[in-house]
A and B are shown apart, each in its own frame.
Chain A
C-alpha cells in the first residue's frame, strides 16, 4: 500500500533525478519466534538523498538496517539493489556491493590501532602499507583527522566515530547507513558531521540516517520514513512536518507534557561535594579532579557532558561504590559521608539510580520484589531480624507499579523480562518511594520510549518539589533543559561551575563539553587552535 501511495505522490517522486531507487525493500519481514521485529516494510532509497529512519526504541529500525547490511537474514520479503533482487550472505558482501554502515555502538577494537581497525573493515586486497596511505588521504579529503598508529582506547568518542566513518568511506560506498551518529557527539561535533554528510550527498551517494533527534532530521534529511512497532507508518518530507507531528507519528499519540510545579523553593544544602579527587579504579577510567558543588533541597542539578568524561566515576564516588579518601569531600544531609558504604549512605537518606538498568540497577534474573529488597533492605523495613518481609517487598512492587505505571505481564516478574522503559520506571519508582532526601540518577531516560521518559522526568520534578535534592547526569541536553535548575558540564574528570538553565545555551554547553572554557580569552584561543 505504501509503495502505491508514494508512486502516486508527485511531490515526492519529482525530486528524484535517477530512474529507479538505489535500494528498495519490498515487504521486508523479520520474525523472532512470535515477535515481528519488522512487519512487511517497504522503503526506497534514492541517490543524492539523506533519508531519515525514525522511530522509538523497539520500533524495528536496527533490525531493518541489519537486514539491509546482511547481518541478519529477513524471514520474508526482498531487498533490491539497483533494481536487482539480492540475498546478502553477510556484511562483507554488502560492503562489496557498495553498502557501508556506521554503527551506533561502535564496532571498534579498543586494543588495536586505528589503522588495524580500519583494515579489519576492508576486504584486505591491498597491503597494510597501501591501506594506511589511503587512510591518511581519505581522512584528509573529508576533514576527519586521525592518527593511524594510536590505539582506540586512547581516543575520544568523537575520534572513534571518525574511525567508523573513514572506514566506511574507504570502501567508496554508494549507500551509507548511519545508526544514531550524533547520540554521543557534542553539538559542535554534530555540526561538523553534518558538513561531511552534505558533502557525501553532493557526491551522489545515498545516506540512511537513523535518529530520534527530530530537529536534526528536519535540518538535514530530504525524506523520512517512520517506523512504529515494527511497521512502517509513513514516508514524508520532514521539512514539511513539525517536530511535534513527527513525534506523534513515532509514538502514535500525544506525549504527556512535563510540568514543573510553580513556586518550588530551595531549602538547606542536602548534598555537598567539596574538592573531590579520585584516581580511576580501572585501566581506562577517568581521574576525578577537584569536583565541588552544592545541591539544596528542592533543586535539580543537571550534569551534562560527552560519555566517558568521568560521569560513571562520579556516580561511583557519590553512591559509595568507590570510597573517597577524605570523608569530608562528600557531605550528605550535613554528615561527612565520603568514607561510608552504600548502605550507610542510604540510611542517611540518599538513593541512587545507575545508568545501566540490567546488571547494575537490577539483577536481571531476580524478581522485582527481590530487586526492591536489594536497595531497600537497610532503610525501608523490609528485613526483620535478618528475615525478609516478603509482603513488604511485594508491596513496594505494587506501589511502584501503580504510581509510575509500570507495565508487566504478571505481578512479580523477573527484571530482565520488562522492557527498558518499564524497568527504568520501576527502578526510579523504587528509589523515589523510599522518600529520599538526595537522589542521584544517571541517564534517567537513556533508551527509554518517549512516554516512559515523560513519566520519569515528571517524577524527578515532583520529588524536587517535595523537597529532595536531585542530581541528574544526562547526555540529553534537551532533557536537562526541561527539568534542571542549573547545569554543570563534566569534561576530563573536571566539573564546570553550574550555569542557570536559562543561561545555558547549547553553544555554551557545547563549548564546555568540548573542553573549552567560557572565559572570553580562552574561548577565542580554542577557536583559533
Chain B
C-alpha cells in the first residue's frame, strides 16, 4: 500500500514540470507561434529560481525569479521572431542554446549548495488518510498550481472572448488582422505566458524536485513538453493525460528496473516516450476532420500598414 502511494507521489512530482511547461507552450502555439526554446527557458528558470531562493531563503521568491527569468528569455524570442519576423524554428533553437549557456553561468556559484525543498501541504486528519491522503492533501504548492493552471487555460481558451481571439490568431493571422485584432501584440503576450510557465517549470526542479542545482538539470524535459503539445493535438485535456502518462511510465520503468525485470534497461528508458506517443496518437485518431494544428503555427506575420 505504501509503495503504491509512494509511486503516485513520485509520478505527480515527475509530471508537474512537464505539465506546467507544456501548458505554457500550448498557449503560445495556439496563438500561432512555435517557440522551440522551451528547454532553454526552463533551464534559465531553474538556475534563476535556485539563485533567488538561496539568496532570499524563500521558495516563493525563488519561483518568482524563475517566472521572471523565463519571461525575459521569451521576450528575446518575441523580439526576434515577432518584432523582426525572423524564422521561428531557428530563433527557438538559438534560444535553447543561449539558455543552456546562460544557466551554467548563472548557476556556477550555486553548484553544490542545498536548499530546503518546498513544503508540502499538511492538514491534520485529511493528510493522514491512508493511500489518498498524501496524494490529495499532501502535495507541494507547485502541484496544486499546475492543476489550477491547466484548468484556467482550458477555461480561458474555450470560455472567454480573449481566448477565442487568441485561437483566431493561431488559425489565420491574416483574417485576424483584417478584422482589426493586434496579432503581434496578442502573440507577444502568448509567448510571454509560455516563457513564464517554462521558467516556473524549470524553477520547480531545484526548488521542489531535487533541492540543489546542477547544470543541465532539465535533462530534455523542455523537448518533452514540446512533444506533448503536439501529441495532445493542442488540447488542454489531452495534455494532462499525456503529461501524467509520461510521468507514470517514467517512474514505473524505474521501479521495474529495480525489481530486475529481464528487459534491457535502454528499452525501459525509452518506454515513456513510446507509450506517450502511442496513447496520444490513438486519442488524436478520434477526431473526425478539420486540422488539428493551429493553421498559422510557425508562420511569420508582417502586417501591412
Contact = CB atoms under 8 A, between A and B. Distances in A.
A110 B172 contact: yes
A359 to B, nearest CB: 14
B161 A111 contact: no
B2 interface: no
Contact of A107 (B178, B289, B304, B305): B178
Interface string A481-505: 0000000000000000000000000
Interface string B153-190: 00000000100110110011011111111000000000
A458 B193 CA distance: 58
Interface in A114-135: 116, 119-121, 124, 128
Nearest to A93: B180
A284 B291 CA distance: 8
B95 to A, nearest CB: 27
Interface of A: 70-73, 90-92, 95, 103, 105-112, 116, 119-121, 124, 128, 151, 153-154, 283-284
Contacts of B179: 91-92, 107, 120-121
A72 B178 CA distance: 10
B290 A73 contact: no
18 contacts: A72-B305, A91-B180, A103-B178, A107-B172, A107-B174, A107-B176, A109-B172, A109-B176, A110-B171, A111-B171, A111-B290, A112-B164, A119-B161, A120-B176, A120-B179, A153-B289, A284-B289, A284-B291
Contacts of A151: 290
Nearest to A283: B291
Interface string B275-305: 0000000000000011100110000000011
A120 B178 contact: no
A90 B164 contact: no
B232 to A, nearest CB: 16
Contact of B167 (A91, A106, A112): A112
A70 B177 CA distance: 11
Contact of A154 (B164, B171, B175, B289): B289
The majority secondary structure among interface residues of chain A is: loop
B178 A108 contact: no
Contact of B171 (A112, A121, A124): A112
B295 A111 contact: yes
Contacts of A95: 180
A112 B168 CA distance: 8
B170 to A, nearest CB: 9
Contacts of A92: 179-180
A103 B174 CA distance: 11
A120 B168 contact: yes
A72 B305 CA distance: 5
A121 B289 CA distance: 25
B172 A73 contact: no
A153 B178 contact: no
A414 B294 CA distance: 32
Contact of B172 (A108, A119, A283, A284): A108
Given A90-B180, A106-B175, 5 more contacts: A72-B304, A109-B172, A111-B167, A111-B290, A112-B168
Contacts of B291: 110-111, 153, 283-284
Contacts of A71: 177-178, 180
Given A111-B290, A154-B289, A73 B305 contact: yes
